[in-house]
Amino acid sequence: MKKFMKKAFCLSLVGVMAVGALTACGTKNSGSTGEGNTNGSADSGKFLIGGLGPLTGEAASYGISVKQGAEIAVEEINKAGGVKVGDETLQLELKFADDEASGEVAMSAYNSLMDSGIQALLGTVTSGAGLAIADKTNEDGILQITPSGSAADLTQYSNAFRLCFTDPLQGETMAEYAVKTLGYKKIAVIYNNADEYSTGVKEAFTAKVKELGGEVVAEEAFVTNAVDFTTQLTTIKGTDAEIIFVPAYYQDAAYITTQAAELGITLPFIGSDGWDGVLANIVDPAALEGAVFLSPFLATDENPAVQSFVTTYNEKYKATPDQFAADGYDTVYVIKAALEKAGSTKSEDLIKAMTEIEVKGLTGDVTFTEDGEPNKGAKFVEIKNGEYIAKTN
């Protein structure tokens, strides 16, 4: 009898494990918003936009922000009567899937979005996932706009557009800021050499710094999921660097600045747009005091459109929107503008219309080039007293 009990117990444990593993997968996918209608064909009076971004994992904050920003835009447009395409008025619908910022997951999520009949793709949020599906979306000929993916190659195909700055452009802008605006000559860099975004920004940055007569005195690498940066920081401490540039995501930036403070490093930090969201991920914001990073959007901007978006976002999600939320919002409006200009829901017409539209967005007024790149200005954000402040210079 005892033996039987033991066996039964073991079996039930195996059962619990299996259920645990399954439900773990289940929660990962529950972030997608399949709001009923999944056939989403054009003649049902609807235009179905597919969204792709990380809703879980390291970069989850970006994906969730983009999704929520896009949802607000969709609601707003539908409330105002929808989008007039030719002589039809369409309601927008967003179906957002989780790609965990991973290429493989993005591919399968993209395929299932296509199966559910999406007509344009808002995504991906991160560069790595976007590069993984670029060939496929081009093959499918669908209009793809990445709200925040900044790797240069993301727009290599004619169907792909981008709303944010490219990695090289970011690197160059930050190099100019460090050398020309702030007047530093000796610069240290800590970057993730296993990440396209980080290496892309870093390469353009170091090249531009040299061109401007500065010197990169330390180039320290780390790999994804690293948590210990003390070795790199100690090396930098041993150089005569005057400033540290960290082109990386917010989680890394939080670790690096905290550990720098512990090691007694008082050099100023500058970062790339991946820093957005860093304040929510750091225990002691004092470690970030005075840090400056590039961002196309700031919630404290006095622009009425921005303020109205911030209010709506706040009411709906009980949070302050970051640049990714604004990128998501703007991307939906770009799709709307392309639909109206094209007067058609066909991807080829939409792609053609992209270079002819001008959108006044929260992240600036934007037009698109033939190469799929946006034309818009850069903004700097400074962290002061634990808050993001628009930097005017």
Partner 1 sequence: MASIIEQLINGLRSGSIYALIALGYTMVYGIAKMINFAHGDIIMVGAYTLYVAIYGLKMPAIAAVFFTIVVCSVLGVLIEKVAYKPLRKAPALAVLITAIGMSFFLQSVALLIFNANPITFKSIITVPAISIGGITISGITLVTLSVTLICMVALTFFINKTKAGSAMRAVSEDKAAAELMGINVNKTISMTFAIGSALAAVAGIMFVCQFQSIKPTLGALPGIKAFVAAVLGGIGSVPGAMLGGMLLGVIESISKAYISTELADAIVFGVLVLVLLVKPSGLLGKNRVEKV
The binding site for partner 1 (CB under 8 A) comprises 6, 9-10, 13, 17, 20-21, 23-24, 27-28, 56-58, 60-61, 193, 220-223, 225, 227-228, 230-232, 234-235, 237-238, 251, 254-255, 258, 262-264, 281-284
> By C-beta, is 203 or 371 nearer to partner 1?
203
What is d(CA 151, CA 17) in angstroms, rounded to the nearest whole number? Answer: 40
Inter-axis angle of helices 60-79 and 304-317, nearest 10: 110
Name which of 114 and 221 has its Cβ closer to partner 1.
Answer: 221
- Rounded to whole angstroms, what are the CA distances from 114 to 33, 48, 129, 275? 15, 10, 16, 32
* Distance from chain centroid for Cα 288: 21
Q: Please, which residue, 255 or 309, has the CB nearer to partner 1? A: 255
What the block records as the tokens of 291 is: 């840090």
Task: Decide: 357 and 326 in contact? Cβ < 8 Å.
Answer: no
Is 68:318 a contact under the CB 8 Å cutoff?
no
* Least distance between partner 1 and beta carbon 24 (Å): 4
Q: Which is nearer to partner 1, 226 or 390 (CB)?
A: 226
For residue 124, cis peptide bond before it (omega within 30 degrees of 0): yes
Shortest Cβ distance from residue 287 to partner 1 (Å)? 10
Closest CA to 338 of 347, 350, 321: 350
Helix axes 127-140 and 103-115, enclosed angle (nearest 10): 40
Give me the least distance between CB of 225 and partner 1, in Å please. 7
Count Cβ atoms below 10 Å from residue 297 Cβ, excluding itself: 29
Measured from the CB atom, the residue of 231 and 307 that comes closer to partner 1 is 231
Residue 113: CB minimum distance to partner 1, A:
21
Say how far apart CA 370 and CA 342 lie, in whole Å: 16
Q: How far is the CB of 186 from partner 1 (least distance, A)?
A: 17
Give the helix, strand, coil percentages of the chain, each rounded to 5.
Answer: 50, 20, 35
Pick 260 or 342: Cβ nearer partner 1: 260
Cα separation, 19 vs 15, whole angstroms:
6
- Distance, CA of 325 to CA of 104 (rounded, Å): 24
Nearest to partner 1 of 102, 144 (CB atom): 102
| Smallest gap from residue 255 Cβ to partner 1 (A) | 6
- 56 or 155: CB nearest partner 1: 56
Residue 172 CB, shortest distance to partner 1, in Å, is 24
Query: Smallest distance from the beta carbon of 360 to partner 1, in angstroms?
Result: 33
Q: How far is the CB of 108 from partner 1 (least distance, A)?
A: 18
CB-count burial class (<10 Å; 0-12, 13-18, 19+) for 322: buried
Q: 174 with 205: CB under 8 angstroms?
A: yes
Nearer to partner 1, 23 or 307 (CB): 23
